[in-house]
Structure 1
Amino acid sequence: MSDPTIALLSDLVAIDSVNPSLVPGGAGEGAIAERIAAEMRAARLDVRVAEAAPGRPNVFGVIDTGRPGPALMLCGHSDTVGVEGMAAPFDPVLRDGKLYGRGAQDMKGGVAAILGAARRLAESPAGLAGRVIVAIVVDEEYASIGAEAAAKEWRADAAVVAEPTDLCIGVGHKGFEWVEVETAGVAAHGSRPEDGVDAIMMMGRVLGELDALERRFIAGERHALLGRPSLHASLIGGGREWSTYPDRCALSIERRTVVGEGPHESLGRETTVGAMSFWTDAAILGAAGMASVVFGPGGAGLHGLEEYVWVNEVQTCRDALVTLARKMSSSRS
């Protein structure tokens, strides 16, 4: 591959970085952190590796110009979701302008764009002022402990999270919460209904109420950018065997929430400004006082069995991040 950014993307996709909190036994971010740190060092960034939790390394790289100016953070995550059902998740394939593999879209394409931009800025720092902070963090797919740790340690005037947006500038996204509900019954032989209490039947009533709430969301008002709130029942389990009244049923619910129940120049074309339906670490950086947007290359198959990212959008994202860093410097000079 002639473009080093795309070659790096291929290398990153080839590394298993399945989130071990999301998928028990997952490889975690250790190996990919080593590759990312090596790339930063080769680009002559000041590199620091810091564990957000044991075995969960965040990687930071800094370009410090030594001149007064703004601090810009470029942020991405190194973990991915699981690979069950995928034939060859870590064998990157470049075909028809797309690079396929687990994490290609979410979000190793964005990470490659960030690292490619950082290399170009470090190689040609003339005109830059302030600092560029590259933050590649762990655990975005589960609890965002990487972004939480980064937000406590680092400060920036602005941040770009290079999650996949199809090169749309994301100025907001839905929030979310995970809720667990458990109903308690009484175990008894199936032939003795007077002794048993069916925990699964009781959970059915909970599901009925949740369905009614979701229908109210569907019929209710929609946020101008985020659309409507939503919820769904993600997991359910209970019971012991066919002939026993179940004494326990557990339900996991995911709830997506909305607020309140000239950005075109650097790409050389008009860019959509909108909001994302999915969670990103931008929420954590923004809450820490860093003005944050989400902007990254597009593709398809997010969390699916066939995932890809558009190669040209990775390159465009990289170039836009370089332009942004330079324009931020010139605007403060």
Structure 2
Amino acid sequence: MDLFNLTKSLMNIPSTSGEEEAVGFFIRDHLTELGWNVELQPVSANQDNVIATLNGTPRVWMSTHMDTVPPFISPTEDDEKIYGRGACDAKGIIAAQIMAAEQLRKDGINDIGLLYTVEEERSSTGAKAANEHSLAAKCEFMINGEPTDNDLAIGSKGSFRLKIKTSGKAAHSAYPEQGDSAIEKLLDILEDIRRTRFPHDEFFGETTVNIGEINGGIALNIIPPRAEAGFLIRLTTEREPIETALENIVRGRGEIEVLSCSEPVKLHEVEGFSRKVVRFTTDIPHMPNWGTPLLIGPGSILVAHTKDEFVLKSDLEKAAELYVGLARRLLD
């Protein structure tokens, strides 16, 4: 199966976070047919990481995630691009890595492994499970794949997910003085957060805050007794100063519930590659046992997670070549 057909075959299998089983089985069967030793590492019910090796102690690994964001968008193509969910994030990357690994194998290089994880798009449970695998200690370099426009990322921001919840007292909306609006409390907190200037880092850039979800209330004629907002903060520092700032803002007006956190990371640099810092986070912070991390892959993060997601076919071909060259450099 060639690079483009492998990409489309992977994309044809829906695999939103929590539903990666079928695509994992496909990758297992494909790699087994090619002659790889393949293990399914259980993560949770119907969720398995895929781990493939050619020898017992690979020094260099290539990895990315099998899950996608919703909704499923079946693949289409033209002469230049492949469109659909997972084209660049990250089914095309899986295909490029497999093709690169096969090329290395044909060249007599077997000191490589492949690792494909579940649930990167939510909480990186697959990466956390992979970090406990015995093969991790034998890995020297982990080449992680995300859409970086085929530039080598030398750093990536962290990700801090949390909720702020407020409570009030329900009452008839005609008599608001009898109640206490949780939504109004939440709006005051949100306004204070929007006015706050969070830390800036010379290397990683600005800390940014996305208020991604707001929920609350019961009905239009009831003073709302509860409300909550969900946040994703792109970290440029450790979590502690951000969490302290939020606690000072909330000041007893609500409760903070931490959902997950990935710290910002600086990544391995290799001469001869275009380099940049990326604003998104990856599985890398959750896999510290897997050697020195690198980050590179085809496609643009600006179209990932959108209805117009695509990857240039030429970028897929270039990525496969870059993975081969990078692995060779790291194994020298």
**Equivalent of residue 223 in structure 1, options 187, 202, 214:** 202
CA gap of 1:82–1:4, structure 2 versus 1, over 3 A, is same
2:222 aligns to what SS in structure 1?
Answer: coil
- Provide the residue aligned with 2:67 in structure 1: 79
Distance in 1 (alpha carbons) for counterparts of 2:237 and 2:219: 44
TM-score using structure 1 length: 0.84
**AA paired with 1:263?**
V
Structure 2 residue 287 is matched with structure 1 residue 295: no
- Provide the residue aligned with 1:24 in structure 2: none
Residue segments in structure 1 that go unaligned for 5+ positions in a row: 21-27, 266-270
How many angstroms does 1:221 deviate by? Answer: 3.9
Distance in 2 (alpha carbons) for counterparts of 1:173 and 1:327: 22
How many angstroms does 1:124 deviate by? Answer: 3.3
**AA paired with 1:73?**
W
- Please say if residues 299 and 311 of structure 2, whose CA atoms lie closer than 8 Å, have aligned partners that are also in contact: yes
**Equivalent of residue 31 in structure 1, options 17, 22, 44:** 22
**Equivalent of residue 222 in structure 2, options 218, 241, 244:** 244
2:221 aligns to what SS in structure 1?
Answer: coil
Structure 2 residue 32 is matched with structure 1 residue 41: yes
- Provide the residue aligned with 1:276 in structure 2: 278
- Provide the residue aligned with 1:139 in structure 2: 119
Distance in 1 (alpha carbons) for counterparts of 2:103 and 2:26: 18
How many angstroms does 1:208 deviate by? Answer: 1.2
The count of aligned residue pairs is 299
CA RMSD, 1 decimal: 2.0
**Equivalent of residue 7 in structure 2, options 6, 9, 26:** 9
Larger deviation, residues 114-123 vs 140-149 = 114-123
Distance in 2 (alpha carbons) for counterparts of 1:192 and 1:244: 9
**After the TM superposition, which residues 103-142 of structure 1 pair with which residues of structure 2 at under 5 Å, given as runs?**
103-125=86-108, 128=109, 131-142=111-122
Distance in 1 (alpha carbons) for counterparts of 2:236 and 2:184: 32
Q: CA-to-partner distance for each residue in 1:114-169, whole Å, 9 max, x for gaps?
A: 111122223332xx36x311001100000101111111103210111111100110
- Please say if residues 70 and 328 of structure 1, whose CA atoms lie closer than 8 Å, have aligned partners that are also in contact: no
1:236 aligns to what SS in structure 2?
Answer: strand
2:176 aligns to what SS in structure 1?
Answer: coil
Q: CA-to-partner distance for each residue in 1:64-120, whole Å, 9 max, x for gaps?
A: 1x7xx861110010000001xx7xx11x22214110010101011111111111222
- Please say if residues 200 and 207 of structure 2, whose CA atoms lie closer than 8 Å, have aligned partners that are also in contact: no
**After the TM superposition, which residues 129-278 of structure 1 pair with which residues of structure 2 at under 5 Å, given as runs?**
131-153=111-133, 154-155=135-136, 156-213=139-196, 216-217=197-198, 221-224=200-203, 226-259=204-237, 263=270, 265=272, 271-278=273-280
- Provide the residue aligned with 1:56 in structure 2: 47
- Please say if residues 39 and 115 of structure 1, whose CA atoms lie closer than 8 Å, have aligned partners that are also in contact: no
Distance in 2 (alpha carbons) for counterparts of 1:237 and 1:31: 33
1:181 aligns to what SS in structure 2?
Answer: strand
How many angstroms does 1:222 deviate by? Answer: 4.4
Residue segments in structure 2 that go unaligned for 5+ positions in a row: 242-268
Distance in 1 (alpha carbons) for counterparts of 2:47 and 2:202: 36
CA gap of 1:98–1:79, structure 2 versus 1, over 3 A, is same
